[in-house]
Structure 1
Amino acid sequence: MADERLYPTRPFLAVSAAILRDRKVLVVRRARKPALGVYTMPGGVVEAGETLTEAVTREVMEETAMTIAPVALAGHREAVIRDAEGRVERHFVILCFASRWIAGEPVLNEELDDFRWVTLDELKALKTTEGLAEIVAAAMDRLRDA
């Protein structure tokens, strides 16, 4: 079965969660391309019929077995990956939600090979997706204000 996300005809809408607990954020390391070996936040593609908060809650449960409460939109990122010829290989618009940890401890699935609860300063020392520290800082602000 062909991956419709590879060489797409349109961008895909995705969600992620900046999950905060005890002044730390959860980051996970991707075990597959295109972000192999990079720390990011749990999340994935929104399915037809899902609200954004339903999607982020489901994706976090699928990837980490944790329960969260999405609180507020923390920001967005666009991921456009081009191949050697300059063609769009992947294109995602990712909405990140500031989220509170409710229950569970991370249990990794086949998409992830590591997790860490880190402070914002510790996050800066990791290989992360572009702009991750800024979106985490925004999430911390949203949760502080909520």
Structure 2
Amino acid sequence: MTRDRFYPTRPFLAASVAVFRDGRVLLAARGKPPGEGLFSLPGGQVETGETLGEAALRELHEEVGVKAKLIGLLSPVELIEREPDGRVKHHVVIAPHAVRWVSGEPRTGPEAREIRWVTQSDIADLPMTPGLAGILDLAFRLEQQDACR
């Protein structure tokens, strides 16, 4: 998150992706605040003129070098961090997506310092960003429904 995102005058819109491959989902430990060191989904800011899905797939490729195809949009997540005096330090609305891996082996970088392919049962033992467990539950259900088609 760059300096201009601190103490915003409006919420920022972002997109993220739960990438599925062989029954596992790709998680990345954040390399930058907020949530540095916590596992999360790859993603980032939606650019003007992009759909949420386009942004999610672009960010996935930029962040970890993976290409995927969309399965579907999940429930949005709103992250608001306040200072003790009530001022809003961060406000991001994230549109998470479930996607299926197509190509590329994930790589670490400045935004993803560690990468893991995990099963649904592995999730409980990981330090994660707030709300991620619920998003992953939805993502696993959507992926399983898609696999049955």
TM-score exceeds 0.5: yes
C-alpha RMSD over aligned residues: 1.2
Using the size of structure 1 for normalisation, the TM-score is: 0.94
The question of whether the paired residues in 1 share the 8 Å contact of 2:71 and 2:99 is answered with: yes
| Structure (1 or 2) with the greater helix fraction | 2
Percent identity over the alignment?
A: 41
- Consecutive aligned runs of 4 or more in structure 1 exceeding 4 Å deviation: none
Structure 2 SS opposite 1:47: coil
- Contact 2:14–2:93 (8 Å) recurs in 1: yes
Instruction: State how far apart, in whole Å, the 2-side matches of 1:84 and 1:29 are.
Output: 27
Structure 1 unaligned blocks of 5 or more: none
Q: CA deviation at 1:94?
A: 0.5
Q: Counterparts in 2 of 1:43-54, with a 5 A limit?
A: 43-54=43-54
Figure out how many residues of one structure are paired with residues of the other and give that number: 145
| DSSP-derived class of the 1:124 partner | helix
Q: Could you tell me whether the CA contact under 8 Å between 2:120 and 2:140 is conserved in 1? A: no
Matched, 1:143 2:143: yes
Instruction: Out of 41-50 and 76-85, give the one that drifted further.
Output: 76-85
Quote the Cα distance in structure 1 between the aligned partners of 2:77 and 2:121: 21
Counterpart CA distance in 1 for 2:120 and 2:131 is 12
Provide the C-alpha distance between the structure 2 equivalents of 1:142 and 1:120, rounded to a whole number of angstroms: 13
Q: Which residue of 2 aligns with 1:127?
A: 127
Matched residues in 2 for 1:4 and 1:48: separation? 17
In structure 2, stretches of 5+ residues that fail to align are none
Report if the CA contact (8 A) 1:120-1:133 is conserved: no
| Distance in 1 (alpha carbons) for counterparts of 2:115 and 2:51 | 26
